[in-house]
Amino acid sequence: MFGVDIGIDLGTANILVFVKGKGVVIQEPSVVAMNLDTNKICAIGEEARQMIGRTPGNIKAIRPLSEGVIADYEVTRQILEFFIAKAVGHRRLFKPRVVVCVPSGVTGVEKRAVLEATTQAAAKDVYIISEPMAAAIGCGIDISAPSGNMIVDIGGGTTDIAVISLGGEVVSQSLRIGGSHLEEAIGRHVKRVYNIAIGERTAEQIKIEIGTAYPREERKMNIRGRDLVTGLPCTVELSSHSVYQSLEEPIHNIIDVIISVLEVTPPELAADIVNQGMILTGGGALLDGLADLILEKTHVPVHIAEDPLTCVARGTGEVLKMLDKLRDGAILTSRSTFKA
């Protein structure tokens, strides 16, 4: 075996690379810093993320994947090239085979863009798998069993919900609401209530530290931003109850879609799901109280996957082991089986 096989979770918020035999070797934010004078990328990943909101006029930090799909094709290709090289080395004689995941709701054009960008970025054969399918495999679910399994993957830009049985998605929905929308809601709230402008990174910190979907005891946090009246830097104390008010609406939108998926799930599969519970994956699964709220609203048991941020990448890793068996089937799409 000369080539190496790798799995990529091409997410809106994070890119993860799994190398067969090694595990997840790269886990970095999907951000690049562009020099607008030269139109060249000057930093990728964590280094670029540090620059968000802190760049001079000629440098811009951008997220080339928006809502789970390729918004900037050329930059995405360069990111893939960079991380594939970082994961397997530059001067390999044999190009790797790559399994890459996309959100379940993508259009044919978007799928084609991922196929092409990955192939151009240095891969020999590229196979696409849907994100909830990879997440389910990463959670250790036997997707080929005649049993209903429900996956809710809450990422940075999208929430993918799917009921899987016998190796296929029986029902699926992709909703373009994810963690970044919760941050935007927090930013708008702080601006409206306190007249303070905060950056994207501060909003994420607030979400992770005191954000909640199910308010219980009150937690507090000091936040820094710019007072919009005086124009000066300032600090205010923010409470979890206040943050909750801003999160309520986007979270309920997500739960409404979970309920609508349950409503159209065939009865036998619905019975399996009530027995086994649904599984939450993606970084959004870590939001405080979310599992409790979903249980309360749906009456279905809810499990948070182990290490939800790496579930999809580990799933692509499992697929690599079965690549020769799976590549002609319905789970993977390649250039030769692609239908627009």
Question: Would you give the DSSP letter of residue 338?
Answer: -
Residue with smaller CB distance to Mg ion, 11 or 250: 11
Task: Write phi, then psi, for 202 (nearest 5 degrees).
Answer: -65, -40
Residue 98 bridge partners (DSSP): 6, 126
Residue with smaller CB distance to Mg ion, 11 or 105: 11
- Torsion angle of the four alpha carbons 316, 136, 286, 64, in this order, in degrees rounded to the nearest 10: 40
Q: Examine residue 105 and tell whether it contacts Mg ion (CB under 5 A).
A: no
Residue with smaller CB distance to ligand ATP, 156 or 225: 156
The greatest distance separating any two alpha carbons of the chain, rounded to the nearest whole angstrom, comes to 65
For 90, residues 6+ apart whose C-beta sits below 8 A from its C-beta are none
Residue with smaller CB distance to ligand ATP, 269 or 293: 293
Nearest approach in angstroms of CB 13 to ligand ATP is 3
Do 130 and 103 contact (CB within 8 A), yes or no?
yes
Residue with smaller CB distance to ligand ATP, 9 or 272: 9
- Torsion angle of the four alpha carbons 326, 67, 115, 29, in this order, in degrees rounded to the nearest 10: -90
Q: Would you tell me which residues interact with ligand ATP (CB under 6 A)?
A: 11-14, 68, 131, 155-158, 178-180, 204, 207-208, 282-284, 286-287, 309
Within a 10 A sphere around the Cβ of 286, how many other Cβ atoms?
18
| Contact residue for Mg ion among 4, 5, 7, 11 (CB under 5 A) | 11
Within a 10 A sphere around the Cβ of 38, how many other Cβ atoms?
9
Footprint (CB under 5 A) of Mg ion, residues 115-174: 155
Binding footprint of Mg ion, residue count (CB under 5 A): 2
Q: Which two tokens stand for residue 206?
A: 């607030």
Instruction: Residue 126: name its binding partner from ligand ATP, Mg ion, none (Cβ under 5 to 8 Å by kind).
Output: none
Nearest approach in angstroms of CB 233 to Mg ion is 34
Q: Examine residue 179 and tell whether it contacts Mg ion (CB under 5 A).
A: no
Nearest approach in angstroms of CB 324 to Mg ion is 26
Q: Interface residues with Mg ion (CB under 5 A)? A: 11, 155
